[in-house]
Amino acid sequence: MILADQVAVVTGASRGIGRAIALSLAEAGAYVVLNYRGNQTAADASLAAIVEGGGRGELSQFDVANESEIEQAVKKIVDGHNKIDILVNNAGVTADNLLMRVSPADWDQVVGTNLKGTILCTKVVSRHMIRQRSGRILNISSVAGQMGNAGQSLYAAAKAGIIGFTKTIARELASRNVTANVIAPGFIETDMTAKLSDQQREKFLQLIPLGRFGTCQEVGDMVVFLAGEKAGYITGQVFGINGGLYM
């Protein structure tokens, strides 16, 4: 197993892409700490799926936008496992609307979780990676942060911010053998895309050269590769998993 004896933290791991990432890391041999904020039932199900597959892990409940909660959670993880090798900042929310209709509450929620959450979790965890002189940080952005998407001004801004942030920390942490990269999914088969009407789905498929939506497993596979030894000379890069929607 390419990630045997590695300790990975995945934020927003109770469902969708986060759950698939956690499962993929566990299958590769990592001990996975699954973060969630409020959906205990979904988090339990994700951990159960890991255990049923022969993997190992635990749950960690904290709000990624709350630095004190992150610090407490990370301290507990490090006290229990002596290290954190992999951090996947996946937690994210949307509040889609036209710019003229977004509210300050929408801004606080979307930017707070997607961008601030990524920054705070990285800030806290990277301290330990610096001491270890090793680590992998993988931040989940979106194709919306690269090309924009009508009705997603807040989400696109937050996801674009993740790209700039990651390139910066990649430079700051490189001397300590800590890499930082971005994965930017396009349309992925999740609960969110399942809500699209047949007309909406067909419209989006026409924009994708490969003619299909991606799978959560494909995102998980990329995370496993970038977290492994073979990706040791890769940092500050953005990896699109979008079927050619953005090139």
Digitized pLDDT (tens) for each residue of the chain, 247 residues in all: 899 999 999 999 999 999 999 999 999 999 999 999 989 999 999 999 999 999 999 999 999 999 999 999 999 999 999 999 999 999 999 998 999 999 999 999 999 999 999 999 999 999 999 999 999 999 999 999 999 999 999 999 999 999 999 999 999 999 999 999 999 999 999 877 787 888 889 999 999 999 999 999 999 999 999 999 999 999 999 999 999 999 9
Q: Residue 3: its pLDDT value, please?
A: 97
Q: Among 31, 155, 233, 246, which one carries the catalytic annotation?
A: 155
155: annotated active-site residue: yes
**DSSP, residue by residue, 86-126:** EEEE-------B-GGG--HHHHHHHHIIIIIHHHHHHHHHH
Contact between 186 and 215 under an 8 Å Cβ cutoff? The reply is: no
Q: Phi and psi (nearest 5°) for 142?
A: -165, 155
- Cβ-defined contacts of 36-39 (< 8 Å, 24+): 36/12, 36/60, 36/61, 37/12, 37/61, 37/62, 37/63, 37/64, 37/91, 39/14, 39/15
Q: Residue 51: its pLDDT value, please?
A: 97
The Cβ-side half-sphere exposure at 66, using a 13 Å CA radius, reads: 9
226 three-state secondary structure:
helix
What's the distance, Cα to Cα, between the start and end of the chain in Å? 32
Q: Residue 152: its pLDDT value, please?
A: 93
